[in-house]
Amino acid sequence: MTAPLVSAVMPVYNGERFVVEAVRSILAQTFGDFECVVVDDGSTDGTAKLLEAEQARDSRLVVHRQPSNLGFRAALNTGCALARGELIARMDADDISEPTRFEQQVAFLRAHPEVGVVGSAMQVIDDHGVRGRVKSYPAGGGLAAWSMLFFNSLGHPSVMMRRALLEAAGWYPAGRVGGTEDYAIFLDFSWKSRIANLPEVLLLYRVWGGNMTHTKWEAQEGDAVRLLRAFVASSLDIDLTPDDAIAMRGLARDQYPTDARTAGRLGSLIEKLLPHYVDRFRDSPRDVREIRTDAGIRLWLLSALALRRGSPQSLSLAAKAFTTSPTSLGAFIAKVGGRLTER
C-alpha cells in the first residue's frame, strides 16, 4: 500500500463517551490522503468495540490495542511509530477536528518547508459540545518560539508536524508527568526548527472533568518549570532558579510578582534572554519586531507593578521597555484595555 501523506495519531483510554465523535471528525476531513491511527491503551470500557465498528466502516482507520494500560506517552509513541505518513497530526480522543484542518495545515507546511510544526487556534467546548472561548496562539514563528519561555505556545491536540523531526528527537521523551511530554518536545523544536500557528480555529478542545490537564495540573506545572530551566540552560546557557522559572510562567497566567525586587529580576532576565531570539530570527524583520514588542509589553507590565509598589525600579524597567521596543507602550495600553473590557 502507498503510504498516506498524513497520519493522525490518537491515544485513547476508556474513551467510550467521545471517541467515536473524535474519530469521525478525522474521517470527515476535506483532505483525503491520510490514515487515522488510534492506540487503545488497554481500555476496560466499551472503547474497543466502538473502534472495531468504526474500523469496519472505513479502512483509513487503523486500530492498535496495547496489551495493558501502559500510559499516555507509551500509547502516543506507539501510534507515532506505527504511523506511515510524512506528516503526523495529533488528536485527542475527546476533541473534534474541523473538516478543513488537514487541508489548511498541509498547505501551510508545503508552502513553508522551514516550519517543522504548525498548530492552530482552538475553541473550547464542554462535555455537551457547547462552544465557549477561543484559545489563540502566536502565529509568527519568532513570537511562537519566544513565547515558549512563558507558556506552551502550541496547542498539542491541534498540531501537525513533520515525522522526520519527531523521529530525530527520539519521539516523545520519558520521565515526564503525563501531559508535559508536548512542552518538553516543543521547547526543543522551537530552537532546532521553526514552529507556527494558523489563526483559524481548526480544533474544538473539550474541557471537562476527565481531561488530563484538569486532573494533573499542579504536577504538570511543576514539571514544566523543570523543563523550562533545563531548556534555557542547555540551549541559551543561562541559569534560571526555580523561582525565576515559576515567575516567568506566571506572567502568562496573570500571576504577577508580589514585590518590586522580583519584578526587577524578571525584567533583567527578559533583557538577558531577548538577544538570543533577536539574533536567531535576524533574517526576518517581522519576527524580530514581534519578539521585541512582546518583550517590551512584559517590561511595561513589570514597570507598572513596581510603580504600584512605590519602587524606584519602575523607572529603570520603563527605560528597558522603551529601549527594547519604542512602540510597545501603545501595544501594552491596548492589551490592558482589552483585558479590562473582557472582564
pLDDT digits (tens, 9 = 90+) for 48-62: 999 999 999 999 999
Where residue 215 falls among pLDDT bands split at 50, 70, 90? low
Which of the 8 DSSP states describes residue 158? G
Q: Is the pLDDT of residue 225 over 80?
A: yes
What's the Rg (C-alpha) of the chain? Answer: 21
Query: Which runs of consecutive H residues, i.e. helices, occur in 96-162?
Result: 101-111, 141-147
| CATH architecture assignment, domain 6-218 | Alpha-Beta Complex (3.90)
State residue 101's pLDDT score.
98
Rounded Cα gap, residues 128 and 94, in angstroms = 11
Mean pLDDT of the residues in the chain: 93
Q: Other CB atoms closer than 10 Å to residue 104's CB: what's the count?
A: 18
Please compute the mean of the pLDDT values over residues 212-230 and round it to a whole number. Answer: 82
pLDDT score at 258:
84
Q: Cell numbers at residue 128, please?
A: 455537551
Q: Is the sign of the CA dihedral 107, 111, 114, 115 positive or negative?
A: negative
Q: Return d(Cα 150, Cα 277) in angstroms, integer.
A: 14
210 pLDDT above the threshold of 70? no
pLDDT per residue as tens digits for the range 86-109: 999 999 999 999 999 999 999 999
What are the tens digits of pLDDT across the range 227-241? Answer: 999 999 999 999 999
The pLDDT value recorded for residue 343 is 46
Residue 298 has pLDDT above 90, yes or no: yes
Of 93-102, 214-223, 234-243, 282-291, the least confident: 214-223
What integer is the mean pLDDT of 231-259?
A: 93
Which residue, chain included where needed, has cell 501603545? 330
**The pairing of beta strand 6-12 with beta strand 96-97:** unpaired
Separation of alpha carbons 311 and 306, rounded Å: 5
- The label of the residue with cell 506505527 reads 82
CB 43 within 8 A of CB 12: yes
HSE-up of residue 248 (Cα within 13 Å, Cβ side)? 29
Residue 342 has pLDDT above 80, yes or no: no
Query: What are the grid coordinates assigned to 127, written together?
Result: 462535555
What pLDDT does 213 receive?
Answer: 53
* CA 199 vs CA 140, 142, 145, 285: distances in Å: 10, 15, 16, 20
The stretch 214-243 carries a mean pLDDT of 90
Q: What is the pLDDT of residue 72?
A: 92
Identify which of 277, 240, 140, 135 has the alpha carbon closest to the alpha carbon of residue 195. Answer: 140
Contact 127, 266 (CB under 8 A): no
Query: Cell 476496560 appears where?
Result: 44
* pLDDT one-digit tens code per residue, 108-161: 999 999 999 999 999 999 999 999 999 999 999 999 999 999 999 999 999 999
In this prediction, residue 21 has a pLDDT band, given cuts at 50, 70 and 90, of very high
Pairing of strands 115-125, 194-206: parallel
Q: Which of 40, 50, 124, 125 is nearest to 76 (CA)?
A: 40
Question: What pLDDT was estimated at residue 159?
Answer: 98
pLDDT of 179 higher than 90 = no
Q: Residue-wise over 109-143: b if at least 16 C-beta within 10 A, else e?
A: beeeeebbbbbbbbbebeeeeeeeeebebbbbbbb
DSSP string, 104-160: HHHHHHHH-TTEEEEEEEEEEE-TT--EEEEE----SHHHHHHHTTTS--S-GGG-E
Three-state DSSP class for 83?
Answer: coil
**What's the number of CA atoms in the CB half-sphere (13 Å) around residue 171?**
15
Q: Is the model's pLDDT at 172 over the cut of 60?
A: yes
Q: What percent of the chain has pLDDT over 70?
A: 95
